[in-house]
Amino acid sequence: MKFFHISDLHFGRQLHGYDLYPEQRSFISQLSAYIKSEKPDAVLISGDIYDKAVPAGQAVSLLDSLLVALEDVTVLIIAGNHDSAERLRYGESFLAKHNIHISVLPPQEEGTRLKKVVLKDEYGDISFYMLPFLRPGMVRHFMPDEAVQGEQAVIARLLANEDIDYSGRNVILTHQFYINGSTAPVMCGSELRPVSAGGTDAVDISVLQGFDYAALGHIHSAQYIGEEKARYCGTPLKYSVSEAGQDKSITVVCIGDKSDGVHIHTLPVKAERDVLKLRGSLKDIIAASNESNRRDYASITLTDDDIPDMVKEQLEPYFENILEIIVDNKRTRQILNEDVADFKELTPYEAFGAFFKEVAGRAMDGQEDKLLKEIIDEVTEMRR
């Protein structure tokens, strides 16, 4: 059996204020072409379909286009930490009749089980277990002891309840922060970071040891954890400057007889616009512009000691989509060395307040202060 593994689509995402809708539509077109040429039996989507719990209309239309592109294959979708369970599960029963299976919450009471989809090939059954993103609070009402211990204890208990026959072939879709012992996955700048690799939010990959393949979501760089059969497929597009230089792809997994293990390869995904990270003098940056990269998203670090006024306007004819301009010269390094000790002691609220005052020349007003506190509270809650 052959299936595609994708994740962290983040429909509705912006990059430094730029709308990524054209890039996301292009990804769907490429996926559709690969479906026709590769003919997979299923597509696994391991969470974060949307970028926000309340997606905009364009984001919803992207999911509609995606499902149309996947109409000839079985589709399995779990919710990620960015998704709203209520919105993602809309039409769940109808979609299941068309081989689109969605799981948005872990079991909610004693005796209930994970959603399981069984597919068949010439070697027999393959059981696909669907474990959407969870926080201990979601299950505290019926497994209080495990909830206190954290995500790993909860997941171990949920899997134990399944009574899985590991002599057969089993695949799990899951969206959590998995580590391998003391080794954490490589992170990007675009995912919500866990509190700590050693905290209760970290789950050791050994809890999934018995599965023939673990289709992981949540981390944006493609990589495996512990063994190749436990794989983060990564995002299909670059969602931060830190991902410049990465190759984005679709993971293809083939499972034959149980004794043969899994075989994995990738299919490249090319964005409409790449993400560039450029560093040098103004003259060097301008010289780096050409017809192939002029429309790419560019993060530019200038090293000139004297930065001219209106420098962005000077660069825009050469790079049409500038994400940011950073100045790194003797003066800025001196300022950083003088001030960094003070800023290390600040809370996120205090640090942003100081930054705002430095840039705007005034303190935040009441509405701005309230909005900042709401954002910090929301991010803190999502990371719990």
Give me the tens of pLDDT residue by residue for the chain, a chain 384 residues long: 999 999 999 999 999 999 999 999 999 999 999 999 999 999 999 999 999 999 999 999 999 999 999 999 999 999 999 999 889 988 888 898 889 999 999 999 999 999 999 999 999 999 999 999 999 999 999 999 999 999 999 999 999 999 999 999 999 999 999 999 999 999 988 876 554 455 558 999 999 999 999 999 999 999 999 999 999 999 999 999 999 999 999 999 999 999 999 999 999 999 999 999 999 999 999 999 999 999 999 999 999 999 888 999 999 999 999 999 999 988 778 776 765 555 556 678 888 887 887 667 788 888 888 888 888 877 766 555
> Do residue 188 and residue 283 come from a single domain?
no
Q: Please tell me the total count of domains within the chain.
A: 3
Q: Which domain holds residue 142?
A: 2-268
In a domain? residue 340: no
Nearest to residue 248, comparing CAs of 188, 288, 307?
A: 188
134-to-39, 169, 218, 235, 340 alpha-carbon distances in Å: 32, 24, 12, 20, 37
- The alpha carbon torsion through 324, 330, 335, 337 (nearest 10 deg) reads 110
Report how far residue 314's alpha carbon sits from residue 323's, in angstroms, rounded to the nearest whole number: 15
23 touches 57 (CB < 8 A): no
Among candidate residues 223, 241, 268, the one where a domain is terminated: 268
Q: What is the pLDDT of residue 349?
A: 84
213, 243, 268 - which closes a domain:
268
Domain boundary among 268, 291, 309: 268
d(CA 318, CA 332): 25
Distance CA 113, CA 129 (A): 10
Tell whether 289 and 186 lie within a shared domain.
no
My answer on whether 321 and 213 are in the same domain is no
- Which of these, 180, 171, 174, lies nearest to 253 by C-alpha position? 171
Same domain, 141 and 220: yes
Residue 215 structure tokens: 């289709």
Distance CA(248)–CA(234), nearest Å, equals 7
pLDDT at 134: 96
Place of tokens 């277990």: 129
pLDDT at residue number 194: 55
> What pairing do the DSSP bridges indicate for beta strands 177-179 and 100-103?
unpaired
Identify the pLDDT of residue 220: 96
* Same domain? 221 vs 104: yes
Whether residue 341 is contained in a domain is answered as no
Residue 9 lies in a domain: yes
Q: What pLDDT is recorded for position 23? A: 97
In whole angstroms, give the CA distance from residue 259 to residue 108: 35
The domain that holds 55 is classified in CATH as 3.60.21.10
Q: Is the same domain home to 281 and 354? A: no
Which among 155, 156, 198 has a CA at the least distance from the CA of 175?
Answer: 155
Question: Is 337 part of a structural domain of the chain?
Answer: no
19 and 141 belong to one structural domain: yes
Answer whether residue 48 is part of any domain.
yes
Q: Is residue 338 part of a domain?
A: no
**Assigned domain for 259 exists:** yes
Q: Tell me: do 253 and 285 sit in the same domain.
A: no
Q: Residue 346: its pLDDT value, please?
A: 67
Report pLDDT for 195.
46
114 and 25, same structural domain? yes
Sheet of 249-255: strand order equals 100-103, 74-78, 42-46, 2-6, 249-255, 262-268
Return the pLDDT at 384: 52
User: Does residue 176 share a domain with residue 131?
Assistant: yes
Alpha-helix residue ranges (DSSP H) falling in the chain: 21-38, 57-69, 85-88, 92-96, 144-149, 151-162, 282-287, 311-315, 330-344, 348-360, 366-382
pTM of the model: 0.86
- Tell me, yes or no, whether 209 and 303 share the same domain: no
Q: Are residues 313 and 353 in the same domain?
A: no
**Residue 287 falls within a domain, yes or no?**
yes
Residue 331 has which token pair? 């003066």
| pLDDT, position 310 | 92
Q: Name the nearest CA neighbour of 63 among 49, 74, 80, 46.
A: 49
